[in-house]
Amino acid sequence: MLKRLLFVLLLLGLSAGLLHAEEAPRAVAIRTGRLLDVRTGELKSNVIILVRDGRIVAVGQNLRLPADAEVIDLSQATVLPGLIDAHTHLTSDHRSYGYHGLGLSTQRQTLIGVAAARKVLEAGFTTVRNVGATTYEDIALRDAINDGDIPGPRLVAGGPSLGTTGGHCDENLLPAEYAHRARGVADGPWAVREKVREVVKYGADVIKFCATGGVLSKGDDPEAPQYTLEEMQALVEEAHQLGRRVAAHAHGAEGIKLAVRAGVDTIEHSTLIDAEGIALMRERGAYLVPTVYVAEYIMEEGAQAGIPDYGLRKMRALMERRDPSLGAAFAAGVKVAFGTDTSVFPHGLGGREFAAMVRLGMTPLAAIRSATLVAAEALGMEKEVGSLEPGKQADIIAVGGNPLEDVRVLERVKFVMKGGRVYKNEF
């Protein structure tokens, strides 16, 4: 009798499990007031987005909804694809300038990343690329987000950036007796190949390196190239062979051209790009990630925010020539992918980049495309994100106004869905 009872209970349990496994996930229907089609630039009225199992299954004006669909009313909003930021540093922040940053452990930086990930997601950025961490804390952050342990955007993680001894991607604040160098330092073609392999071994999705000096690093020149063409070619070849795209930090014109000739996928900052560099980028199909607002933040608020004097001096020198250079690149049709460099300014304020890009000559629609369609292509994720189309991830945001008339409404995102899950709804 007992054996028979156990057998029946086992069958009932298996049946319940099978029924649960076969049960279709509940559909979500989003009723929009206006939907921005980023491909056509058209604002469409009264469109419904149907979501199931984290993906968009239909987009249209007269959709027949499943009887059990959960309805989200965004009829007073403008709906767009989730935004993409191709240049972030989630595991550091605006309190980490100069010598203060030396007091932050890897563990502390990881926790900074946990807080930053939530802020960035709630600001409407559902996908970001982290181009530079001290070690591999952004890899841990990515994995925790993917496992559902913490909220955050889809994270393309780079681990430590590669750089030359004494360059922008080295640590130059400590005196010689410490004999310290940053985790990504490698000199010479074979050394950079080995370093690429190491960074990929420990989980990097993308390889970032410093092709010129920088602003917030001590003792180097933003205009001076770092790495020879031979070293850059070896780095890019190794990364591409391992299936990783390459991002190159570059301010000066010569470093930009060396990096493009070496075959990099994206140029970060590109502050002093010249006509030859613009032509090369168009010819090779490289993407420009301009990080416009961060320079304005440093100039306007840097001294009060604690940016060291050497950084302020270098930024002032670059800003005298930046606007015509970037403006010319925009006008020439270089492919521009949106990036903010958040951490230099507070996380969660990345939406300010849109107005900065418009001030340099972009239309609001072009700026929005840079953070959706173009950024998705730059990251190799165009089949997953970047537009509101059937089959793609249900990464959806909404704002209260019309971003084509006032792009600054993207600084105040009120609704955020990532992968079909709502993380913010202020409507």
pLDDT the model gives residue 9? 38
Average pLDDT over residues 307-323: 94
pLDDT per position as a tens digit, 24-83:
468 999 999 999 999 999 999 999 999 999 999 999 998 988 988 999 999 999 999 999
| Domain positions in the chain | 24-81+387-425, 83-378
pLDDT the model gives residue 17? 40
**Helices of type H across 123-252:** 137-146, 189-201, 229-241
Q: Which of 351, 324, 278 is nearest to 85 (CA)?
A: 351
Domains 24-81+387-425 and 83-378 belong to one CATH topology: no
Share of the chain above pLDDT 70, in %: 94
Q: Which of 204, 269, 277, 213 is nearest to 235 (CA)?
A: 204
The token duo for 7 is 């057998």
Question: Do the beta carbons of residue 416 and residue 124 sit within 8 Å?
Answer: yes
pLDDT the model gives residue 40? 97
pLDDT the model gives residue 26? 80
DSSP string computed for 237-258 = HHHHHTT-EEEEEE-SHHHHHH
pLDDT, mean over the chain: 93
Active site residue 265: no
Fold category of 83-378 in CATH:
TIM Barrel (3.20.20)
pLDDT per position as a tens digit, 209-248:
999 999 999 999 999 999 999 999 999 999 999 999 999 9
pLDDT the model gives residue 25? 62
| CA dist., res. 427 & res. 424, Å (int) | 9
Q: Which of 208, 257, 335, 418 is catalytic?
A: 208
pLDDT per position as a tens digit, 82-136:
999 999 999 999 888 888 888 899 999 999 999 999 999 999 999 999 999 999 9
pLDDT the model gives residue 91? 97
Active site residue 383: no
Q: Which of 334, 326, 276 is nearest to 296 (CA)?
A: 326
Fold category of 24-81+387-425 in CATH:
Urease, subunit C; domain 1 (2.30.40)
Is the pTM higher than 0.95? The answer reads no
Query: Which is it for strands 42-45 and 154-157: parallel, antiparallel or unpaired?
Result: unpaired
The token duo for 273 is 């790009």
Residue with the larger pLDDT of the pair 113 and 303: 113
pLDDT per position as a tens digit, 174-193:
999 999 999 999 999 999 99
Report helix, strand or coil for 155.
Answer: strand
Q: Which of 170, 205, 220, 341 is catalytic?
A: 341
* pLDDT at position 1 over 70: no
* pLDDT at position 285 over 70: yes
Surface-to-core class of residue 201, CB atoms within 10 Å of its CB (0-12 exposed, 13-18 middle, 19+ buried): exposed
Crossing angle of helices 275-284 and 253-262, rounded to 10°:
20
